[in-house]
């Protein structure tokens, strides 16, 4: 594949930074709602 044009790469980098900033504003859940182990999936009540 040919290299992408510099403006395309800059746009992709800007979009990635915006996505990371957006999702970084929302902390993950402190505890998992579902756990997956060797015996299957468990749901916490």
pLDDT of residue 1: 62
Residues 6+ apart with CB under 8 A from 12: 4
CA distances from residue 6 to 11, 12, 20, 21 in whole angstroms, order as listed: 9, 10, 21, 22
Map out the domains of the chain as residue ranges. Answer: 1-28
Residues 6+ apart with CB under 8 A from 4: 12
Cα–Cα nearest to 44, from 36, 33, 31: 33
pLDDT of residue 24: 83
What are the tens digits of pLDDT across the range 1-45? 678 899 999 999 999 999 989 888 776 666 555 555 666 655 665
pLDDT of residue 38: 63
């Amino acid at each position: 594949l040919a290299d992408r044009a510099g403006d395309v790469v800059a746009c992709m980098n800007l979009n990635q930074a915006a996505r990371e900033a957006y999702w970084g504003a929302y902390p993950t859940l402190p505890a998992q709602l579902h756990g997956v182990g060797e015996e299957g999936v468990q749901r916490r009540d």
